[in-house]
Amino acid sequence: MSLYRRWIGGSGDVVAGYTSSIADDAEIAAEVVEVMKAHVKHLIEAGAVPRADGEEILAVLGQLNPADLIRQGYEDVHEALEDYLIKRLGPKGGWVGLGRSRNDHVAAAIRLRLLKHIDAAMRAAEEVKCAAAERALEYADCVMPSFTHFQPAQPITYGHYLMALYELMADFADALSAVRGIVDKSPLGSGPAGGTAVPLNRRRLAELAGFGEVAVNTLYASSSRFFAGLAASAVASMLAELSRFVDDFVAWSSPLIGYLQLPDEHVSTSSIMPHKRNPVTLEVLRARISEALADALALLAVQEKIGYGYSLDLQEATRHLWRVFKTAEEGLAVLADVVKRARFNCEKAYGDAARYPTTSSDAAERMALGGTPFRDAYFKVAEAVKAGRAELPDPREAVKRPVSGSPDPQEVRRAAEEGLRSCGGRRAS
Ligand code: ARG
């Protein structure tokens, strides 16, 4: 029988199986042990436990492989850890229950684990950013149509397109670093809801556990998952947008469009149609992004209906957080590889930009800049396009639009080079 259930009775098999988080806790087992070490160190400092007992506990914690705690028969990893200490050290092991609750300890472990995932997601975003800048430099002159409503719109360049992906990654990294500051707050010492009678120094406890700040209000600290919802929402927002790039790459890799030659490793073929080059990594990525959006929503939905204070519902929210991050970390790595190694068919893309009247807006604007009111110029160009006698600027000239951030190859090269400076000596190949 589990440690805590002993006093309440009941074999609890059905209940235990249904309510245990032990399998999910594999994600946070290492952090749970780290948090416990900080807690015991501070109990010793605060004179709340006999020093010798505390040091024995620390020695056992130091030798423990956190993965060994993931064993059936426990409500969660926190109970498994306390039970392990009591089995190893006798009643002395039970000192660890003083001045803490699973509620503040699980919140602390989730926050610490999440900080690692945030850092991993930022590194993965950096990979995409650098791959995008590298290829943007290579394809700065490579003219293609842009698409609005999936109709050929203005001409841009593939380099310009890639710098859009670059900027998304840069904004995502900024958003994550703001979120990071909110995650990096220690809930330790907040007890189950209203604090503890043990005179713990919460700032010191935070420092021992490796947090930058303290989540102050004990009810908020022990019960809030705002930090988790926020992190998942930031990632979900990025993924929803990333999916649009993925969708383009899938379409462009079809011979019907034929702009993008995906690396061989990213395609599979058919068991019956040997001509097929199916964009399978991108298809899986697109599907997993949809799942991750559902996970982000599940994380928020589980929380929103419970009153302010810990309920076991919160335990059920946590796994969704890890799924969102795992999808982002893996997906960004896949996409970085695609961007780095895919070949873009500039001739084909330029052909489309020239074949369709993609420079109609440039023609109308030039006319307007020459003194014709814009709407008149617009209708003149419209008529000429309709009659098939429009003389439109060449897309290669038109892309040199004089506004910052435009597809002007010089502008794209400048932005890509600036971006590459933080990418550790990468260059276009
Ligand atoms: N296993 C729980 C979780 O992951 C932590 C334990 C809180 N349990 C409790 N009965 N107060 O959120």
Tell me: the pLDDT tens digits for 178-197?
999 999 999 999 999 999 99
Ligand 1 center to 169 CA (angstroms):
35
Ligand 1 center to 426 CA (angstroms):
47
Check pocket membership of 29 for ligand 1, CB cut-off 6 A. no
321-358 pLDDT, tens digit each: 999 999 999 999 999 999 999 999 999 999 999 999 99
- Which atom of ligand 1 is least distant from the CA of 76? 1
Residue with tokens 């841009």: 156
User: In this prediction, what percent of the chain has a pLDDT beyond 70?
Assistant: 98
Check pocket membership of 76 for ligand 1, CB cut-off 6 A. yes
- Which atom of ligand 1 is least distant from the CA of 24? 4
Q: How far apart are CA 384 and CA 391, in angstroms?
A: 8
AA identity, residue 325 = F
The residue whose CA has the least distance to atom 6 of ligand 1 is: 102
Check pocket membership of 314 for ligand 1, CB cut-off 6 A. yes
Mean pLDDT score of the chain, rounded to an integer?
96
Ligand 1 center to 247 CA (angstroms):
40
Check pocket membership of 222 for ligand 1, CB cut-off 6 A. no
The residue whose CA has the least distance to atom 3 of ligand 1 is: 315
pTM passes above 0.85: yes
The residue whose CA has the least distance to atom 12 of ligand 1 is: 315
Ligand 1 center to 21 CA (angstroms):
8
At 426 the pLDDT is: 55
Q: How confident is the model at residue 429 (pLDDT cuts 50, 70, 90)?
A: very low
Judged against a pLDDT cut of 50, whether residue 428 lies above it is answered with no
Per-residue burial over 204-220, b = 16 or more CB atoms within 10 Å of its CB, e = otherwise:
bbbebbebeebbeebbb
34-76 pLDDT, tens digit each: 999 999 999 999 999 999 999 999 999 999 999 999 999 999 9
| Average pLDDT estimate for 384-393 | 96
- Which atom of ligand 1 is least distant from the CA of 192? 11
Write down all domains in the chain, each with its CATH number in brackets.
Answer: 13-98 (1.10.275.10), 112-156+217-349 (1.20.200.10), 351-421 (no CATH)
Q: How far apart are CA 152 and CA 355, in angstroms?
A: 10
399-422 pLDDT, tens digit each: 999 999 999 999 999 999 999 998
Check pocket membership of 32 for ligand 1, CB cut-off 6 A. no
At 13 the pLDDT is: 76
- Which atom of ligand 1 is least distant from the CA of 101? 11
| Average pLDDT estimate for 157-178 | 98
At 154 the pLDDT is: 98
Q: What is the CA radius of gyration of the chain?
A: 29
Q: How confident is the model at residue 6 (pLDDT cuts 50, 70, 90)?
A: confident
Judged against a pLDDT cut of 80, whether residue 12 lies above it is answered with no
288-323 pLDDT, tens digit each: 999 999 999 999 999 999 999 999 999 999 999 999
Check pocket membership of 21 for ligand 1, CB cut-off 6 A. yes
